[in-house]
Chains A and B, each alone.
Chain A
Amino acid sequence: MIYINVERKIFTSDGNRKLSLNIRIPDKGLIFLIGKSGVGKTTILRMIAGLLKPDRGIIRINDITVFDSFNKINISPQKRNISFMFQDYVLFPNMTVEENIFFAQKKKDIKFINQLMKIFELESFRNQKPENLSGGQKQRVALARSLAKKSTILLLDEPFSALDEVIKKTIRKLILKIHHMFDVTTLIVSHDKKEIKQMSDYILYIGDYCEIVKN
């Protein structure tokens, strides 16, 4: 479970506002974060990942306090058991597809990587550099790399935003498949009402007040 009770000032085109959040995110769920642009959806993911520091509050991941402003605890992203997939995939151009995925592992688990390669249908271009891949292929590599770390929490920042409808459909299916297969808690930032309705277990509304509801 993720417990997040934080405050942070965020900067938007409409000026500064305070993001205030006090929620518990259940284990193993597929949770969609929705809200207007600039409301702080990505900020929440980044705070959970440790890439952004809340102004004050507490974040607990699986009963481990990863951030506590009162006791001055702030565990680095490297030590939080999470995987983060950025909106623009961020594959490292100097590495091949296979090297990008292996990079996420502490010890090389070839069997697991081969399993991921098969699930994401990456076997035929495992030695290709990211510059030779299409948007959908890059997306699959980034997803496989996120899973290769074997984290219990998967944070996906707008994973469908840059894809066309056909590829979106494939990626949606893949996310559902891996979510159930690897038993991870998955948090997704999205704007698409249709996919939220189809895929989510829970919906986290971010706005003037924040609440989590079962779909």
Chain B
Amino acid sequence: MDTDFVSTLLLTGKLAFMTTLCLLIIGMWVSYVLAYSKSRLKIFFEALICMPVVLPPTVIGYYLLVAFSPHNALGKFFKNLFDMRLAFSFFGILVASIIAGFPFMVQSLQNGFHSLPISYRETAYTLGKSKMVTFFKVLLPNIKPYIITGVALTFAHCIGEFGIVLMIGGNIPGETRIASIAIYDEVQICNYSVANRYSLILFFISFILLILIYSINKNFTIGSKV
């Protein structure tokens, strides 16, 4: 197996893993706030978070590319403070993947919080527990199936990400070239055997993750009926 093939797969895995980890941490808090907020602005933020689902990836990619430019505020900020370039870098495609994966994680976790009776929080509060303790000891452990679903969906979506990553990262081997882009690249040069290897691996990873999600949901449904 050639090193380029392996490094592309490792980079894809690294991107998916880091995106999922970042989204798990950020998503827990965002979904908690959205699930229990009574603010009128809640709908605005819910719609904003869901935008990557309905928008063409190239639209988000375009806006991010403009924002990441060193001539604009965000790009300038990272350039001046960390001497870091966002466009055409691994960090750039990580930020883009986090934005693209946001709805998958946040919606799964938000559904989890909604599935819990409000009396869980109220009981914990009357037992003298803070919001933080209630969150970690009562709420999170009782939405485990939703957390696993969110993680699997985000990971699966991330390894299949194409448009945004191509717009932000280009196609730099070892830096921004992930498997989905490599497939497109290999097909362009009629190298079907390599494209087929990439495709088979992505197919099986996605398939296994979906089987995991469905089996968790099935067990959870059976469990809640008992």
A→B interface (CB under 8 Å): 49-51, 76-79, 82-84, 86, 88, 90, 92-94, 103-104, 106, 131, 145, 149
Contacts and interface: CB of A to CB of B under 8 A. Distances in A.
A116 to B, nearest CB: 14
B142 interface: yes
Q: Is the interface of A mostly helix, strand, loop or mixed?
A: loop
Given A78-B125, A131-B226, A90 B130 contact: no
B128 A104 contact: yes
Contact of A94 (B119, B125, B128, B142): B142
Contacts of A83: 126-127
A145 B122 contact: no
Contacts of B125: 50-51, 76-78
22 contacts: A49-B126, A50-B125, A78-B125, A82-B126, A83-B127, A84-B122, A84-B123, A84-B126, A86-B123, A90-B117, A90-B119, A90-B120, A90-B122, A90-B123, A92-B138, A93-B142, A94-B141, A94-B142, A103-B127, A103-B129, A103-B137, A131-B226
Contacts of A86: 119, 122-123
Given A50-B125, A78-B126, 5 more contacts: A78-B128, A86-B119, A104-B127, A131-B226, A149-B128
A104 B72 CA distance: 53
Contacts of B226: 131
Give 9 closest A-B pairs by Cβ, nearest first.
A94-B141, A84-B126, A77-B125, A90-B123, A104-B127, A90-B119, A77-B126, A78-B128, A86-B119
Interface in B111-149: 117, 119-120, 122-130, 137-138, 141-142
B122 A92 contact: no
B149 to A, nearest CB: 17
B47 to A, nearest CB: 29
A100 to B, nearest CB: 10
Contacts of B124: 92, 103
A76 B117 CA distance: 20
Contacts of A92: 120, 123-124, 138, 142
Chain B interface residue bracket vs A? 10 to 19
A126 B201 CA distance: 47
A106 B119 contact: no
A75 to B, nearest CB: 12
Nearest to A155: B126
B169 to A, nearest CB: 40
Nearest to B122: A51
A149 B142 CA distance: 23
A142 B125 CA distance: 15
B71 to A, nearest CB: 49
Contacts of B142: 92-94
A92 B141 CA distance: 10
Contacts of A79: 128
A78 B226 CA distance: 33
A83 B142 CA distance: 22
A76 B120 CA distance: 16
Contact of B119 (A76, A78, A88, A145): A88
A146 B116 CA distance: 21
Interface string B57-79: 00000000000000000000000
Nearest to B223: A131
A50 B130 CA distance: 14
Contacts of A90: 117, 119-120, 122-123
A131 B137 CA distance: 18
A189 to B, nearest CB: 15
B141 A106 contact: no
Contacts of A82: 126
A77 B137 contact: no
